[in-house]
Amino acid sequence: MPFGFVNGAYNRASGTLDAFAGLSADLEREGHPPMVSLSGDREPEDQLRIWYERMTLTPNGRKVYGKRVWQGKTWYQIHPDTVGVPDTSNHEKRRSNDLKWPYNDRTTAAHKRARILATRHNITCEGLSFSEAWHWTHWGPIGVIASPAGAGSSMPADPEKKSDPKEHKTMKRLMQIDPKVDGRWFVVDYLAGTAVRQWNGFQLDRCREDIVRGELIELGGPQTPAVIQGLKIING
């Protein structure tokens, strides 16, 4: 099986794609699993979305994992996973992939061998320098950038900007934290008709904090599992 992608990941730069495909093929020839990317390229709007999810100007008592300076301001990391400053991330530069096991654990035989073979393809496990053993980067020519599969999306709004006091509440996300289904909480966005299956407690707590601050509007009364299952499930 060749180098692959899951969860919508992709590489549009031919040089990056060819380099990872070549490294994966080398590993397979030696009996190791193929490489699979969980996260490859990030468009500018994706990088901003992740930045706003993990960084804030006002931590308000939340645990701070680090600090970054962007646009002349100090931002606080409130998520355990790091994120590059917008316009600087190698994901945004179409050079990096975050890989599935066993290439996300530096102690596995496959990861150790991949680090040796990677030099043939101008790839390093860049993430080892910041405790992310899954983050690999291609340093050679990126080649031709393929056209996107679909139309572009709009840039996410800066959540740190003060809202217009005249803003109508329906412009905000209408959320409901609902009972557990299959052992997981759901946060349902009724405006979009989607239900986000929470995959860690941090995100659930963050949603509750956003509601308290008035950034989200919580609808009254939990919905039944049947209602949740009738919606589009994302991030499940």
Answer yes or no: are the C-beta atoms of 134 and 118 closer than 8 Å. Answer: no
**1-42+89-149 topology per CATH:** Muramoyl-pentapeptide Carboxypeptidase; domain 2 (3.30.1380)
Q: Model's pTM, two decimal places?
A: 0.60
Give the percent of the chain with pLDDT over 70.
Answer: 63
Measure Cα distances from 37 to 200, 208, 232 in Å. 21, 31, 24
Q: Which two tokens stand for residue 128?
A: 């080892």
What are the pLDDT tens digits along the chain (236 aa)? 789 999 889 999 999 999 999 999 999 999 999 999 999 998 888 888 888 888 999 988 899 999 999 989 999 999 988 888 988 889 999 999 999 999 999 999 999 999 999 999 999 999 999 888 999 999 999 999 987 754 344 445 555 555 443 333 333 445 555 555 555 556 655 444 455 555 455 556 666 666 666 555 554 444 444 444 545 554 44
∠ at Cα 213 (209, 217), nearest 5°?
90
Is 38 strand, coil or helix?
strand
Distance of alpha carbon 61 from alpha carbon 43, whole angstroms: 31
Domain positions in the chain are: 1-42+89-149, 44-83, 169-234
